Amino acid sequence: MSPLTRFVLPALAAASSAYAASCSVSATSTIQNSGDATGLASCKTFTGSIAIATGTTDSIAINGVTKIQGNLVASNASQLQQLSGDSLEEITGTFLLDDVQVLNTVSFPKLTKVNTIRWNALPNLQTLAFTAGISEAAVIDIQNTQLQTLQGINVKQIDSFTLANNRYISEVNMQLGNVSVSLVLEANNPEVTVSFPNLEWASNMTFRNCSSVDVPSLTKLNGSMGFYGNVLTSFSAPNLTEIGGALAFVSNTELTNITLPQLTVVNGALQIANNTKLSKINGLPKLKTIGGALDFNGNMSEIAIPALNDVKGTFNIQSTGDIQATCDDTFKPLKSKGKIQGSYTCVGAVANPGGEGTTPTVTGGSAKKTGAPGAANNVQVQGAAMGLVGLAAAFLL
């Protein structure tokens, strides 16, 4: 063997070893600048996590890599403006963007699969360049961005989806078929329209600050669903038959109509409270059973639940409207027959209608609750999706 050969072969072997190591790391590989990113181009699959250094000032293009077997993280990278990858198709771990204040471009035209998306505090990110579109993800949590649309994210099933404090987003339209843990939309643009035309079942859903919510295919809810402080004028779920937890409509200032024509069972509490313009509750024609409390208060002049036959918790209806005949002729007999198991209050012409546990004051006099005070169910909606506080622990990395 020639001296040159004896020198070259070990060198090639060392180079090959270095190449293999660069595409597979046991810890996190940190990209300091664009040159570091370019160095990954020969890795079709990168095994390990990639983090963008907090001090980088370059635009980072992770080109050539088709799969990251780990996480892609940019956190507190205060000068990072652009993050891209021309070939990346899959991230098996978490795609984390947190407190990247000047980031204005996120471009991954071939990306379709991500296990977890967690984006927070991205005040300059307005659009996404996901040409192929992300169609598979287990968790999506997007908060405090300037995104105007979620175009490029269109998953068909998900465990948890949270969209909060995105003040410029005007539309959420996805082909979601099921949500296995929770869906939370709150504190976004108050004019945001929400449409999940293919959603058939979900566990827990919370909607706040929405102008419309469309779920025409929803048939079953395993957990709870709540609408709080929205400006939607109506809500309809024409195919929903059963709710495993609670159902709440609270402080929706423009709400005038609730239509759930096939709903037969609410296994938790049913709360309809402080919806200023809601004068009629007559869209529950088949509702038979409420496993928790029934708590209505507001300005209702008409209440009709003709199939109701079983309320296992407290029964409280207080209204400014004249509903006393309905109370006496329809609901009081249910209490007398033991169909209402908790304490019973049903009063109209109330000056300040209140929730379960309050004593109504009727205009010109007072009225007290009737029926034995039972161990009534709390009417506050329970479940993982009833607010971000309950979700925070599950969503931490």
pLDDT in tens, 123-138: 999 999 999 999 999 9
Calculate mean pLDDT across residues 280-289: 98
Angle CA(160)–CA(166)–CA(170) in degrees, nearest 5?
Answer: 100
User: What are the tens digits of pLDDT across the range 338-355?
Assistant: 999 999 999 999 999 999
- Give the pLDDT score at 345: 97
Give pLDDT, residue 364: 56
pLDDT average, residue stretch 273-302:
98
Angle at 323 between CA 317 and CA 329, to 5 degrees: 90
pLDDT surpassing 90 at residue 1? no
pLDDT tens sequence across 178-189: 999 999 999 999
Write down the domain spans for the chain: 23-132
pLDDT tops 50 at residue 14: no
- Are the beta carbons of 95 and 117 closer than 8 angstroms? yes
- How confident is the model at residue 274, as a pLDDT? 97
Per-residue confidence (pLDDT) for residue 393, from 0 to 100: 37
C-alpha distances in angstroms, 173 versus 110, 212, 265? Answer: 21, 11, 28
Helices (H) and strands (E) in the chain, counts: 5, 32
- Confidence category of residue 22, pLDDT binned at 50, 70, 90: confident
Q: Tell me what the pLDDT averaged over the chain comes to.
A: 89
**Residue 62 CB burial class (10 angstroms; 0-12, 13-18, ≥19):** buried
Confidence band (pLDDT; 50, 70, 90) for 361?
A: confident
